[in-house]
Protein backbone atom coordinates (compact mmCIF):
# COMPACT_ATOMS: atom_id res chain seq x y z
CA UNK A 1 0.00 0.00 0.00
CA UNK A 2 1.29 3.45 -0.88
CA UNK A 3 2.07 5.79 1.98
CA UNK A 4 3.67 9.18 2.43
CA UNK A 5 5.79 9.98 5.48
CA UNK A 6 6.73 13.55 6.32
CA UNK A 7 9.49 14.93 8.49
CA UNK A 8 11.09 18.23 9.38
CA UNK A 9 8.41 20.26 11.12
CA UNK A 10 8.96 22.08 14.38
CA UNK A 11 9.17 25.38 16.20
CA UNK A 12 11.20 28.22 14.74
CA UNK A 13 11.58 31.94 15.41
CA UNK A 14 10.38 34.48 12.85
CA UNK A 15 12.98 34.83 10.12
CA UNK A 16 14.20 31.29 10.65
CA UNK A 17 14.25 28.31 8.33
CA UNK A 18 12.94 24.78 8.20
CA UNK A 19 13.18 22.00 5.65
CA UNK A 20 10.28 19.62 5.17
CA UNK A 21 10.74 16.23 3.54
CA UNK A 22 8.30 13.60 2.37
CA UNK A 23 9.01 10.09 1.17
CA UNK A 24 6.55 8.00 -0.82
CA UNK A 25 6.82 4.25 -0.42
CA UNK A 26 4.92 1.09 -1.20
CA UNK A 27 3.78 -0.26 -4.54
CA UNK A 28 4.63 2.70 -6.78
CA UNK A 29 4.73 2.64 -10.56
CA UNK A 30 4.83 6.34 -11.28
CA UNK A 31 4.51 9.66 -9.44
CA UNK A 32 3.12 12.66 -11.20
CA UNK A 33 2.79 15.84 -9.12
CA UNK A 34 4.11 16.10 -5.57
CA UNK A 35 3.58 19.00 -3.27
CA UNK A 36 2.62 20.57 0.01
CA UNK A 37 -0.58 21.96 1.39
CA UNK A 38 -1.10 23.61 4.76
CA UNK A 39 -4.04 24.11 7.06
CA UNK A 40 -4.83 26.15 10.13
CA UNK A 41 -7.83 25.52 12.38
CA UNK A 42 -11.02 26.93 10.95
CA UNK A 43 -9.62 27.43 7.47
CA UNK A 44 -9.52 25.37 4.31
CA UNK A 45 -6.42 23.50 3.33
CA UNK A 46 -4.41 25.63 0.89
CA UNK A 47 -1.78 24.80 -1.70
CA UNK A 48 1.69 25.97 -0.72
CA UNK A 49 3.85 24.55 -3.51
CA UNK A 50 3.87 21.72 -6.02
CA UNK A 51 6.27 20.23 -8.51
CA UNK A 52 5.71 18.01 -11.52
CA UNK A 53 7.81 15.03 -12.50
CA UNK A 54 9.52 17.24 -15.04
CA UNK A 55 10.43 19.82 -12.43
CA UNK A 56 7.86 22.51 -13.15
CA UNK A 57 6.93 24.33 -9.96
CA UNK A 58 4.02 26.36 -8.69
CA UNK A 59 3.88 28.43 -5.50
CA UNK A 60 1.29 30.27 -3.48
CA UNK A 61 1.83 34.02 -3.76
CA UNK A 62 2.39 34.27 -0.03
CA UNK A 63 5.49 32.05 -0.13
CA UNK A 64 7.11 33.02 -3.43
CA UNK A 65 10.73 33.96 -2.95
CA UNK A 66 10.85 32.35 0.49
CA UNK A 67 10.01 28.67 -0.10
CA UNK A 68 11.67 26.34 -2.58
CA UNK A 69 10.27 22.95 -3.53
CA UNK A 70 12.40 20.20 -5.02
CA UNK A 71 12.15 16.48 -5.62
CA UNK A 72 14.33 13.44 -6.08
CA UNK A 73 12.52 11.17 -8.52
CA UNK A 74 14.88 8.27 -7.89
CA UNK A 75 14.03 8.35 -4.18
CA UNK A 76 10.33 9.26 -4.51
CA UNK A 77 11.02 12.22 -2.26
CA UNK A 78 9.89 15.83 -2.20
CA UNK A 79 11.47 18.57 -0.10
CA UNK A 80 10.48 22.10 0.73
CA UNK A 81 13.02 24.58 2.01
CA UNK A 82 11.27 27.31 3.96
CA UNK A 83 13.22 30.48 4.64
CA UNK A 84 12.30 33.83 6.19
CA UNK A 85 9.47 32.18 8.03
CA UNK A 86 6.65 34.34 9.36
CA UNK A 87 4.11 33.73 12.13
CA UNK A 88 1.43 33.45 9.46
CA UNK A 89 3.24 30.38 8.08
CA UNK A 90 2.21 28.53 11.22
CA UNK A 91 0.09 25.55 10.17
CA UNK A 92 -0.02 21.81 9.76
CA UNK A 93 1.75 21.00 6.53
CA UNK A 94 0.60 18.02 4.47
CA UNK A 95 2.53 16.30 1.75
CA UNK A 96 0.62 14.94 -1.21
CA UNK A 97 1.45 13.02 -4.34
CA UNK A 98 -0.41 11.81 -7.39
CA UNK A 99 0.64 8.17 -7.73
CA UNK A 100 -0.15 5.14 -9.85
CA UNK A 101 0.66 1.70 -8.54
CA UNK A 102 -0.62 -0.86 -6.08
CA UNK A 103 -4.02 0.12 -4.69
CA UNK A 104 -6.17 -2.19 -2.61
CA UNK A 105 -3.97 -5.08 -3.68
CA UNK A 106 -4.35 -4.42 -7.42
CA UNK A 107 -1.86 -2.77 -9.75
CA UNK A 108 -3.47 0.13 -11.59
CA UNK A 109 -2.39 2.71 -14.17
CA UNK A 110 -4.83 5.21 -12.71
CA UNK A 111 -3.40 8.08 -10.66
CA UNK A 112 -4.73 8.69 -7.17
CA UNK A 113 -3.92 11.40 -4.65
CA UNK A 114 -2.21 10.28 -1.46
CA UNK A 115 -1.62 12.37 1.64
CA UNK A 116 0.83 12.32 4.49
CA UNK A 117 -0.20 12.50 8.13
CA UNK A 118 0.79 16.16 8.48
CA UNK A 119 3.61 17.88 10.32
CA UNK A 120 3.25 20.93 12.53
CA UNK A 121 5.20 24.08 11.71
CA UNK A 122 5.07 26.81 14.33
CA UNK A 123 6.69 30.19 13.81
CA UNK A 124 6.78 32.15 17.03
CA UNK A 125 9.08 34.30 19.11
pLDDT tens-digit series, residues 55-100: 999 999 999 999 999 999 999 999 999 999 999 999 999 999 999 9
pLDDT at 56: 97
pLDDT at 94: 98
Rounded distance, CA 123 to CA 119, Å? 13
pLDDT tens-digit series, residues 2-35: 999 999 999 999 999 999 999 999 999 999 999 9
Task: Give every strand in the sheet of 18-25, ordered side by side.
Answer: 3-7, 18-25, 77-82, 67-72
CA 99 to chain centre: 14
Amino acid sequence: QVQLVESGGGLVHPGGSLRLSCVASGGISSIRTMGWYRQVPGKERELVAQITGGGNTDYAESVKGRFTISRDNAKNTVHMQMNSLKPEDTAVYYCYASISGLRHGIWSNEYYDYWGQGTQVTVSS
